[in-house]
């Protein structure tokens, strides 16, 4: 089950966090993985790890927020089977204390970055079909405190997912998104150490317990759901958002 043998998979943000976990898992399932990231060192690190385990991978260095770079990165492809839009940035703030600069930065990466990759990948999928998986968030479904700009971008990702799923049904292109709650990634560790110096362990425990299940998700857990949705076993699924949230949406009242 969940065999991706020789499928061409492009994973944005594949140098770290959820994107890296997806890249490693897809490679183990036989995919030829293109690890797309703005950080050359991190992208190459993922590629090396895949190679050391017998997998096939190449790094694809580009800033997803810049269409010219995405066009150049995708120019060598004749076909893509799977696109996972995992690249993204976060921000803490409400509407009245979010700067225009921060708002634009989140839009450029989280919204325009997804659009840029869709714009280039969809023509490469039309002949043989394909699968697109976008990373949304529980912030696209419920209100989260101090996440104004981030919630805006993830709401847009959900909207783009539904639109693409509808528009490309006849092209045999499926498009879904997953909406994680808090996931333990290097970003979370960096945020805690920067915001709460000397209280890292305390705050990690506190943030973990905001999930009803009592802990943060592991990137690998998100990757397993993404693998299913991108596999042939999910061939009847399109136009859906899948919360993977430790009970946050339904059980946090």
Residues labelled catalytic: 150
* Cα gap 58→56, rounded to integer Å: 7
Q: Answer whether 182's CB lies under 8 Å from 211's CB.
A: yes
- The number of C-alpha atoms within 13 Å of 33 and in the hemisphere containing its C-beta is 36
* Cα gap 221→244, rounded to integer Å: 9
3-state secondary structure (DSSP) of residue 132: strand
3-state secondary structure (DSSP) of residue 83: strand
Sheet strands (E) in the chain: 8-12, 32-37, 56-61, 82-85, 130-135, 173-180, 241-244
Nearest to 174 by CA among 234, 99, 115: 234
196, 141, 107, 136 alpha-carbon torsion, rounded to 10°? 90
- 61: β partners: 37
Dihedral pair phi/psi, residue 250, rounded to 5°: -90, -25
Place of tokens 């808090």: 182
């Amino acid at each position: 089950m969940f065999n991706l043998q020789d499928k061409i998979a492009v994973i944005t943000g594949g140098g770290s966090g959820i994107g890296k976990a997806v890249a490693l898992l897809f490679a183990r399932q036989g995919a030829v993985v293109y690890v797309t990231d703005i950080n050359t060192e991190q992208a190459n690190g993922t590629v090396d790890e895949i190679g050391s385990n017998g997998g096939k991978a190449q790094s694809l260095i580009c800033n997803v927020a810049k269409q010219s770079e995405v066009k150049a990165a995708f120019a060598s492809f004749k076909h893509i089977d799977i696109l996972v839009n995992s690249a993204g940035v976060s921000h803490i703030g409400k509407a009245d204390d979010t700067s225009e600069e921060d708002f634009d930065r989140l839009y450029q990466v989280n919204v325009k970055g997804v659009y840029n990759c869709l714009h280039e990948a969809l023509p490469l999928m039309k002949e043989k079909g394909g699968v697109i998986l976008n990373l949304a968030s529980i912030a696209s479904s419920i209100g989260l405190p101090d996440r104004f700009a981030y919630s805006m971008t993830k709401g847009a990702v959900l909207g783009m997912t539904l639109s693409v799923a509808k528009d490309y049904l006849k092209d045999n292109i499926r498009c879904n998104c997953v909406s994680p709650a808090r996931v333990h990634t290097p970003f979370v560790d960096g945020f805690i150490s920067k915001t709460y110096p000397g209280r890292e362990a305390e705050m990690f425990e506190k943030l973990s317990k905001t999930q009803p299940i009592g802990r943060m998700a592991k990137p690998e857990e998100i990757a397993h759901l993404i693998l299913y949705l991108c596999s042939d076993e999910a061939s009847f699924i399109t136009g859906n958002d899948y919360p993977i949230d430790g009970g946050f949406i339904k059980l946090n009242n």
